[in-house]
Structure 1
Amino acid sequence: MYRFLLTPRWWGINVFAVLAIPFCLFMGSWQLSRFETRVDSHHEQQTQADDARAAASAPLRELLPVSTETSGRQATATGRYDTGHQLLVPDRDLDERKGFYVLTLLRTDGGKALPVVRGWLPGAADASADAAKVPAPPSGEVTVTGALQSSESSTSKGVHSSGGLPQGQVGVISAASLVNLVPYEVYDAWITLREAPAPLTAVPPAAPPNSGLDLKAFQNLGYTGEWFVFAGFVAFMWFRLLRREAEAARDLALGITPEDPDAPKPDAPKPDGPKPDGPDNAPQKRSPAEAA
């Protein structure tokens, strides 16, 4: 009954199923391994971030360049605030409240300036009443301590990269954006102060870039399910075709042939009995002579 499996048609179906099912299972397993790798990396980076927050402060030069190991570490730097180039960073939320960062550049002894986020204020950076609440930076030489952060990019959370900001504002905290606003070099990093002067609120450090479970991780998980579904669909269709072919072979062995839908059908028998009255079946009138 299963001799049809040796036909060329079924050879092609079998070869396709034998190759497609392992391929789908392999791709699903590979996507699952990619998701697990991202999860492990996320846990490892979280551990590194916790260790960085718990570590003792260190001089800025020992923590540069910023990496996943040094991001969030408490860095210390000594210098003088550039009071003439204090900047506001608009559209920054804190605890689900709208506000802005206060950014001041610290001129260090090395010649470069370190961007320092002194704190956060509620309100709008464009409003003169809110901007007037910003306290002036301390004068003279100061030593600051804050969480080290890598330069932001246009894809960082909360950045205002559309441009067109008023003078005295900057949308992205990065050396590339600040070097065009000041006449000196800027470190490719910034810090957020651990303690902010009133009425400012200290800004918590952000997670290092690419350290969270982003959309790509869940895309890998979705692709895993899709590949396993494809493997199950191929197996289901192969079994369905096999069962239909086996049933057709069994019916043929019993002498049951499938009805040909294109074969002419026999005429239906005409019913016996009187015909209904109609124009073709109306009784014929006879002449008086025929009636006699």
Structure 2
Amino acid sequence: MTSARRPPLLTDLGAAVLALVLVALAGRLGVWQLDAWQAHRTAEARDLTQLDPVALDDVMGSDDPFPAPDVGRPVEVEGRWLDGGFWVSDRSYDGRDGYWAVNPMQVGDAGILVVRGWASEPDPGLLSVDGSQDVVGWLQPPDGNLAVDDDPTDDVFPEIRVADAVQRVDIDLFSAYVVDQAAAPGLEQAELSALPEPGTFTGVRNLLYAFEWWIFGGFAAFIWWRWRRDATQEPADETPVTADAAPADRAGVDQPVDG
């Protein structure tokens, strides 16, 4: 009976050490990529509402698209109130449904919409504002749910959309609006409708790299296991059939016996 084969000790230990190093390295690189994925999502979802305010022009220009990483950032706006205020329905405050009072403000050659506060019912008098003012508020992106306005002729809109508001003023509007941190007289503080959230595919490349490294580590472990199984497998015990014995056996079987 043939004994099981075994690789030399140094070869066996070397293969085991190499497999462990590769598995550990792949695991560590996978964790590194996972941490990078989480860091990307955390950075995109950071809460900017408590930062010191900065000038609006330092964040975006009047022709710029909305800067997604700056959702909720406090900004300073200095300008002059314009006609064309309106209400936005279905806005909640302290669990109650109500309306936002929105007025356009001219800043340089363009205008920006300012949410001055919340009210339980639309009151035309609360939209009456004029003169110049400095506003500190949170930067927000326009709504984009495409809600249908049941009565386009009134002063109540279902959403804050620049395309709707620009028809009420004679200048271009920023692709953003500001929620005033100090509610106007007769109004309550409006609650923010948008805070930064990570996108679905934020950092997805790092997440895929993490899985790729872990699969590589698993493959390295499998290769070592397969090599060692084959190296230590007991060979099959087979009796070879010689060429000389085969004709004699056939002769003994096929030839008739004389009586």
TM-score range, shorter-chain basis? 0.5 to 0.7
Q: Which has the higher contact order (CA 8 A, sep 6+)?
A: 2
1:196 lines up with 2:179 in the alignment? no
- Equivalent position of 1:51 in the other structure: 51
> 1:117 Cα deviation (Å)?
0.6
Structure 1 residues 157-188: Cα deviation after superposition (integer angstroms, max 9, x where no partner):
xxx32444532344553534422454443234
Letter paired with 2:172? E
> 1:245 Cα deviation (Å)?
2.7
Long gaps (5+) in structure 2:
8-18, 240-259
Q: What is the distance in 1 between the residues matched to 2:229 and 2:95?
A: 61
Long gaps (5+) in structure 1:
4-16, 123-129, 155-159, 258-292
The answer (yes or no) to whether the contact 1:49–1:207 under 8 Å persists in 2 is no
- Equivalent position of 2:139 in the other structure: 149
Q: What is the distance in 1 between the residues matched to 2:107 and 2:27?
A: 60
- Equivalent position of 1:137 in the other structure: 127
Identity of matched residues, %: 16
- Equivalent position of 1:265 in the other structure: none
The answer (yes or no) to whether the contact 1:32–1:220 under 8 Å persists in 2 is no
- Equivalent position of 1:117 in the other structure: 115
Letter paired with 2:128? P
Q: What is the distance in 1 between the residues matched to 2:109 and 2:203?
A: 45
> 1:119 Cα deviation (Å)?
1.1
Structure 1 residues 202-250: Cα deviation after superposition (integer angstroms, max 9, x where no partner):
2255777xx5444435756754653344234313432443344345x41
Give the number of equivalent residue pairs.
215
- Equivalent position of 1:277 in the other structure: none
Which residue of 31, 34, 47 corresponds with 2:33?
31
- Equivalent position of 2:13 in the other structure: none
- Equivalent position of 1:75 in the other structure: 76
The answer (yes or no) to whether the contact 1:81–1:104 under 8 Å persists in 2 is yes
- Against the structure 1 CA distance between its residues 217 and 31, is the aligned structure 2 distance closer, same or farther, given a 3 Å change threshold? farther
Secondary structure in 1 aligned to 2:90? Answer: coil
Letter paired with 2:230? E
- Against the structure 1 CA distance between its residues 206 and 90, is the aligned structure 2 distance closer, same or farther, given a 3 Å change threshold? closer
Secondary structure in 1 aligned to 2:126? Answer: coil
Q: What is the distance in 2 between the residues matched to 1:240 and 1:103?
A: 69
- Against the structure 1 CA distance between its residues 179 and 220, is the aligned structure 2 distance closer, same or farther, given a 3 Å change threshold? same
The answer (yes or no) to whether the contact 2:79–2:108 under 8 Å persists in 1 is no
The answer (yes or no) to whether the contact 2:77–2:107 under 8 Å persists in 1 is no
Which residue of 238, 255, 275 corresponds with 2:223?
238
> 1:26 Cα deviation (Å)?
9.4
Secondary structure in 2 aligned to 1:187? Answer: strand
- Against the structure 1 CA distance between its residues 72 and 134, is the aligned structure 2 distance closer, same or farther, given a 3 Å change threshold? farther
- Equivalent position of 1:88 in the other structure: 87
Secondary structure in 2 aligned to 1:216? Answer: coil
